[in-house]
Amino acid sequence: MSVQSFDEIRDDFAARVKRIVWATLSTQDTAGRLRSRMLHPIWEDATGWILTGRNSLKAKHIAANAFVSVTYWDPQHEQIVADCQATWEDDVDEKQRIWDLFKSTEPPLGYDPGLFFTDGAAHPECGLLKLDPWRIELWTIGELMQGKPPKVWKP
């Protein structure tokens, strides 16, 4: 079922992200093969943020193809699939703002990124990846078993 506004899925999206926390991010390597890994995004409405290594394998994949898929799953079978374009945010103030957002958000969604980047947001390896969805799908196994279609939002 297509939804016209992110507002129609905002509450369910936020509740699932907060509960599930860890997501699988899939990229495409330079040979066209998919590669997935677990990451810990934080979302501001429909914009996702990931603090991650700037010189990582995923960074090389994103340099070649900026489209990624972010999937959340839990044992309750309440899924989210967010297909996004990923871009690096290099603005120092924005990077610090998101660093502070991670640090000030209550766990388990929030955490201290200083555990990974000891020199803070200015650490040269610390990258801020912005996720701009072109499609978000929410569904549950219970709804599918009742014949209800997934909720799909496209900006």
Mean per-residue pLDDT, 24-39: 96
Short-list 129, 76, 66, 78, CA closest to 102: 129
CB pairs under 8 A, 24+ apart, for 114-118? Answer: 116/51, 117/51
**What residue type is 145 in one-letter code?**
M
The residue ranges of DSSP E strands in 1-155, in sequence order, are 2-3, 23-28, 34-39, 42-44, 47-53, 67-72, 78-88, 126-140, 151-153
Mean per-residue pLDDT, 50-73: 96
Q: Quote the mean pLDDT of the chain.
A: 96
Give dist(CA 19, CA 66) in Å, integer: 27
> How sure is the predictor about 70, in pLDDT bands with cuts at 50, 70 and 90?
very high
> What pLDDT was estimated at residue 92?
93
Q: pLDDT, tens digit, for every residue of 123-132?
A: 989 999 999 9
The pTM for the full model equals: 0.95
> What pLDDT was estimated at residue 69?
98
Tell me if residue 74 falls in helix, strand or coil: coil
Give dist(CA 61, CA 107) in Å, integer: 29
Q: pLDDT, tens digit, for every residue of 74-107?
A: 999 999 999 999 999 999 999 999 999 999 999 9
Q: pLDDT, tens digit, for every residue of 113-153?
A: 999 999 999 998 999 999 999 999 999 999 999 999 999 99
